[in-house]
Each structure stands twice: as C-alpha cells, then as structure tokens.
Amino acid sequence: MSESETHTTASPKFAPLWPFVALLGVGVATFIYGLSSAHPAHAWQTYLINFLLWSAIAQGAVLFSAVMHMTNARWSGPLASLSEAFTAFFPISFLLFLILFLGQNHIFPWLHEDLHGKEIWLNIPFLFTRDALGLLILYGLGCGYLYHALQLKIDPAQTGNKIRRMIVNAHQSNALTPEAVKRRMTIWGGLYILAFALVLCLIGFDLVMSMDPHWISTLFGAYHFVKAFYLGLGALIILATIIRVRQGKASVLTPAHFHDLGKLYFAFCLLWADFFFVQLLVIYYGNIPEETHYVIVRAMLAPWNKVAWAVFFVCFVGPFLILLNKNLKTKPVFMAVICSLVIVGIWFEHLLLLGPALSHGAPTIHLSVADGLISLGFLGLMALAVGHFIRVFPETAGLKGTIT
C-alpha cells in the first residue's frame, strides 16, 4: 500500500448528521401515511423505485473499489477507498428488501394473473427466497472485501466503536502481510464482481421486468447492472465533491482525480445508453407485438412518452455533450450537480419502467409531493449510513487524526 500524504489537521471535522435523520423521519412518516391512505399501492411503488435506486447506488459504488483493486489501478488513489463507504448501506438495503414482502399485494401485478406457465418462476416464496439469497451473497461478499480492505488502511492507534475495534483486533491478531491481505482482497473482490453481475441481473428480471410478466428482454438484467455502476460512479463523484469541498486544498482528492473519474462516468453514460439502445433496436426490427407494446406504451404514448424523452435528455444527451469538455470534468461541484441530475433522471427512468405496469393504464402520471418526501427519506438513510461509516473509518476519506 502506498503511503498517502498527511494533509489534515489533528481532528477531522465531520458534517452534522441530524438533517439526514430529519429527512429519514419525514420519509418514513410520509410512507406510513401513504400506506394508510386510499392508495397504498402508490406508496409501495415509490418504495420499490427508491429501494432499487439506492441499492444500485451502493452496489455500483462498491464495485468501483473492487474493479480498481482487480485491475491493479493506481489512478483512482483515494477514490477507491472512498467508494468502500457505500458498503454501509448493504445491511440497510437487505432490510428494505425484506420489507418489500409486506407490500407484495401492491407491488406485483402478476400475483392474481394467469401467467401461462410462468408461475414456476414468478411466485412469491421462490422470488423472495432467491432474491434474498442473492442479496445476502452479494452483500456478504462485499462486506468480506471491505473487511480486508480496511485492514490495509486502518490506523490501529485510533480506537473507536465496536466494529472498528473488531477490525483493528482482527488486523493485529491475523498478523498478515499487506501482500497476503491484497491476495485475499483479490479473491473477495473477484467474487463480488461476479455476484454483482449475476445478482443484479436477477433483481432486474424479478423486480423490474416481471412487472410486465408477458414481456421479455434478454439483456434487461445486464442493463440493470450497467445502470447500477453508472449510478454508483455518480454517487462516488458526489461524495468525493463533498469531501473535497469540506477539506479544501488540504484534500487528497485533486482535480486530476475528478477528471479521471469523470471520463469513466462519461464512458458509462454511453454504455448505459448503449445497453438501452441495443434492446430497442432488436425490438424495433423484430416488430413482434408481444415485445413492442412495452416500448410503445413507454416511449410513444401519453402520458409516459414525455418521461421517456426527459430521461433520454437528462441521463444521456446532456451528460454526453457536457462531459466532452475536459475542464468541466475537473470541477467537483459542477460534476456533482450533473451526477445529481442523472440520479434524479434514473429515478424517473425507474418510474417509467415500473409505472405503466403498476398504474394499470391510468391516463395521467400520479406524482405527488409524497413521492419526493419518501425519496428524500431514502436519501437521508443513505447519507446517514455513509456519513456514519466515514466517522467510524475516516481513513477511507483520506482523513487522519483523532476520531471524534
């Protein structure tokens, strides 16, 4: 492990987390209010959209660290460590998935439909069992990778809470050399990457594509995990911007880091759009009614066509044209704004994929302030998880000094 320069003063200063606790409270209250209203299905739809979005952000961000390690990349520097902070959302995501079980009657439109033989795959016990197992494996591998990654950077002189002490004790009792730890990271990281692809494919098929149970796109699962990496990179840029702005010139994050990460973000903007287009082209040329109705409803007919075009411009055209410029990629705040807009755009993309199936042909898109408040609740949850992780392990943010 290369030594990072010491840039900071004695005590790292952390942002207060109470605003995010407030956001979480507002989100939970709005969700519970929605459940008790006349349309609980709508609250569950928003819950599902947010669960998919924020879980994908965490899964994709951690993938960055694993990929950097597997490729022996040096350019990422402190960014790979920073991305490990999103592992803190994994246990929360798993709990959120289990809560989905309670809303099954409102989430899965195929529950009471004749599925013409697909019942063998699309049934609640099997679906929840396989998805829970998949997420458990994915998150277990991610945490295993994190466990070893932290041993390379943790400062044993600094004590902290129980989890930190556990890592420190493990590091001291294992007495492994850095090379041995890196070899273990390679195994865990490689397995995480494999599980990422397979599990997110499964989640994409089960929780998004199955909402229209008679429509199939073979690449849909891969589209879901490419989207997750795109989201994860965006979230990493936002977190890196926050760290950079708080630390100022003393930060280990330089404009060159943002430039390099921005280039990778640009590449995944293209890849995400490409995976969408590849599916579209095949459906377009095949012109099979069983396949085309899905695209026609979402891209050509009101009310969803406006959402489709908005997503296209916000998540692809805008970032593509803007990120061609080198200077803009080196500006952290600007990049954070772009990435935030893309994350909002992908929220609407999830709405576009799920909405027509869950709203059962409603003439208008039912969006309200409640959807925004529930989404802010999820944002608060993610910020609390990541913020708390950085407080416990400030080394991941390139901070040294007394942990307060």
Give the footprint of other proteins on this chain (CB under 8 A).
254, 256, 259, 277, 280-281, 284-285, 287, 324, 326
CA 189 to CA 66: how far, in whole Å?
Answer: 5
Yes or no: say if 393 and 164 are a contact pair by the CB < 8 Å rule. Answer: yes
Give residue 295's identity as a one-letter amino acid code. Answer: V
Query: Is the CB of 147 or the CB of 223 nearer to other proteins?
Result: 223
CA 19 to CA 212: how far, in whole Å?
Answer: 38
Yes or no: say if 137 and 144 are a contact pair by the CB < 8 Å rule. Answer: no
CA 161 to CA 157: how far, in whole Å?
Answer: 13
The nearest distance, CB 365 to other proteins, in angstroms, is 25
Under 8 Å CB-to-CB from 52, ≥6 apart: which residues? 203, 207, 208, 350
Query: Is the CB of 18 or the CB of 285 nearer to other proteins?
Result: 285
Query: Is the CB of 252 or the CB of 383 nearer to other proteins?
Result: 252
Query: Is the CB of 5 or the CB of 119 nearer to other proteins?
Result: 5
The nearest distance, CB 300 to other proteins, in angstroms, is 12
The nearest distance, CB 344 to other proteins, in angstroms, is 25
Query: Is the CB of 254 or the CB of 340 nearer to other proteins?
Result: 254
The nearest distance, CB 284 to other proteins, in angstroms, is 5
The nearest distance, CB 292 to other proteins, in angstroms, is 11
Query: Is the CB of 143 or the CB of 271 nearer to other proteins?
Result: 271
Burial degree of 127 (CB within 10 A; 0-12, 13-18, 19+): buried
Yes or no: say if 186 and 70 are a contact pair by the CB < 8 Å rule. Answer: yes
The nearest distance, CB 211 to other proteins, in angstroms, is 24
Give residue 18's identity as a one-letter amino acid code. Answer: W
